[in-house]
Amino acid sequence: MTCIIIDDEPLAVKLLESFVARTPQLQLVSSFTDSVEAIAALRQQPVDLVFLDIQMPDLDGMELAHMLPAETMIIFTTAFKEYAFDSYEVSAVDFLLKPIRYNKFLAAVEKCEKRRVEKGKWRVESLFIRVDGELRQLQTDDILYVQGMKDYVMFYLLSQPRPLITHLTMKAVEDMLPAERFMRVHRSYIVALDKIRSIDRNDCIYIGQEIIHVTEAYREAFQKYITEKSI
Mean pLDDT over residues 79-90, rounded? Answer: 61
Contacts of 199 (CB under 8 A, 6+ apart): 205, 206, 226
Contacts of 126 (CB under 8 A, 6+ apart): 137, 138, 139, 140
The rounded distance, in Å, linking the Cα atoms of 205 and 208 is 10
Contacts of 131 (CB under 8 A, 6+ apart): 164, 165, 166
Tens of pLDDT along 157-213? 999 999 999 998 898 888 888 888 899 999 999 999 999 999 999 999 999 999 999
> Confidence band (pLDDT; 50, 70, 90) for 118?
low
Burial call 32-55: b when 16+ CB within 10 Å, e when fewer: bbebeebbebbeeeebbbbbbbbe
Question: Over the chain, what is the mean pLDDT?
Answer: 88
The rounded distance, in Å, linking the Cα atoms of 51 and 13 is 10
Where are any strands of DSSP class E within 80-213? Answer: 94-97, 126-131, 134-139, 143-149, 152-157, 164-167, 182-186, 189-192, 198-199, 204-207, 210-213
The rounded distance, in Å, linking the Cα atoms of 204 and 149 is 20
Tens of pLDDT along 124-152? 678 888 898 888 888 999 999 999 998 89
Q: Which domains does the chain have, with CATH numbers?
A: 2-118 (3.40.50.2300), 126-229 (2.40.50.1020)
Distance between start and end Cα atoms, the chain: 39
The rounded distance, in Å, linking the Cα atoms of 145 and 192 is 6
Greatest alpha-carbon span in the chain: 66
Q: What is the pLDDT at residue 29?
A: 95
Q: Check residues 67 and 17 and name the one with the higher pLDDT.
A: 17
Say if residues 184 and 222 touch (Cβ distance below 8 Å): no
Q: What is the pLDDT at residue 65?
A: 86
Q: How many percent of the chain have pLDDT more than 70?
A: 92
Q: What is the pLDDT at residue 172?
A: 84
Q: What is the pLDDT at residue 84?
A: 55
Mean pLDDT over residues 8-16, rounded? Answer: 95
Tens of pLDDT along 55-71? 888 778 888 888 888 78
Cα dihedral across residues 132, 136, 141, 146: positive or negative: positive
Q: Check residues 117 and 47 and name the one with the higher pLDDT.
A: 47
